Amino acid sequence: MPAKTIAKRRALRWALLCTLLLRAAIGGAAHAQVLDDIQARGTLRVATSLDYRPFSYRMAGRRVGIDIELARALASTLGVRVEWVAFTWAELETLLTQGAFDIAMSGVSITPERMQIGFFSNPYFETGKALLTRCDTTRELRSLADVDRPDVKIIVNPGGSNQRFVAANIHSAHVQVHTDNLSIFDALATGAADVMITDAIEAQIEAAADDRLCAPVLTSFLEPILKAWFIPRDDEWQRTVNEALATLERSGALAAAVNQYVPAEPNSYAPAGSHQ
């Protein structure tokens, strides 16, 4: 990748992170005693969607993924068991405000909207919005301008950062909301739509898994995205989570989890702190 492109991506990434951290500081402190509740209960309530490779999904009936591995490691660090809490992307913020979980670990994107109601850990993974297309349309659909046309059908899952990005950036194309995140890629592949805008890491993995799908451009993000763990507004709990994340990174457990589930490609995506 050209040096100028790498420098530009790094600048965008850190500009986004600084903006988000400033928003968090403006939001003020909070004390919800989450850690005390976890210790008293003996369980860490971890919210997962189980529909987002490589972060959390099912394989042969088992929970697997980067965040599944890290959730178990976090619970072990705290000396408690994992209690899994299922969520859909459309209800994630509501469940947080209802106190339904202690931490969401499922490839959650840092967004300004989510930072208004909860805290985030330090970011542990970087990616960006990218195109996932049927392979028979890849030549024609390689940029945002290519897909934002009246004759193009875009498929999107509801409630998450993909839908927010489409709502903010797509003005002419036909947008089709597909409510089942587990079947959305087959719907795209069988012709229900021409393109999906999703995280580049997901586009990479789904294209590798289905020869009907292609990810035409994975080296130039439509928008940089940082992944982090989403938690209630609790200062002590945020410090504890960040300390545990730092320990997982120093020990190599974070890199091991990423390497286990992310294809080894020259331009694959790495933990957010791994770039020099």
Q: Which residues contact 272 (CB under 8 A, 6 or more apart)?
A: 13, 122, 123, 124, 125, 126, 226, 227
CA dihedral (92, 112, 30, 239) positive or negative: positive
CB neighbourhood size of 216 (10 A): 20
pLDDT tens-digit profile of 33-46? 999 999 999 999 99
CB neighbourhood size of 59 (10 A): 9
- Domain edge (last residue) among 223, 242, 264: 223
pLDDT tens-digit profile of 115-147? 999 999 999 999 998 999 999 887 888 888 999
Residue 256: which pLDDT band, with cuts at 50, 70 and 90? very high
CB neighbourhood size of 83 (10 A): 15
Residues 242 and 164 in one domain: no
Residues 67 and 146 in one domain: no
- Domain edge (last residue) among 202, 223, 244: 223
- Domain edge (last residue) among 203, 223, 243: 223
Our count of domains for the chain comes to 2
Residues 52 and 151 in one domain: no
User: In which domain, by residue range, is 38 found?
Assistant: 3-124+228-274
Per the prediction, the chain carries an average pLDDT of 86
**CATH number assigned to the domain comprising residue 48:** 3.40.190.10
Residues 139 and 32 in one domain: no
3-state SS record for 13-61 = HHHHHHHHHHHHHHHCCCCCCHHHHHHHHCEEEEEECCCECCCEEEECC
Residues 115 and 133 in one domain: no
Residues 13 and 134 in one domain: no
pLDDT of residue 30: 56
Residues 175 and 202 in one domain: yes
Residues 190 and 252 in one domain: no
Residues 16 and 52 in one domain: yes
Residues 109 and 8 in one domain: yes
User: Higher pLDDT residue, 17 or 10?
Assistant: 17
Residues 7 and 118 in one domain: yes
Which residues make beta-bridge pairs with 56? 52
pLDDT of residue 49: 96
pLDDT tens-digit profile of 217-232? 776 678 889 999 999 9
CA dihedral (273, 166, 86, 50) positive or negative: negative
pLDDT tens-digit profile of 76-118? 999 999 999 999 999 999 999 999 999 999 999 999 999 999 9
Q: Per the omega criterion (within 30 degrees of 0), is the bond before 232 cis?
A: no
Beta strands in 116-266 (DSSP E): 119-120, 125-134, 153-156, 174-177, 195-199, 213-214, 223-227, 230-231
Residues 9 and 115 in one domain: yes
pTM: 0.80
How many Å apart are CA 177 and CA 172, to the nearest integer? 15
DSSP code for 173: S
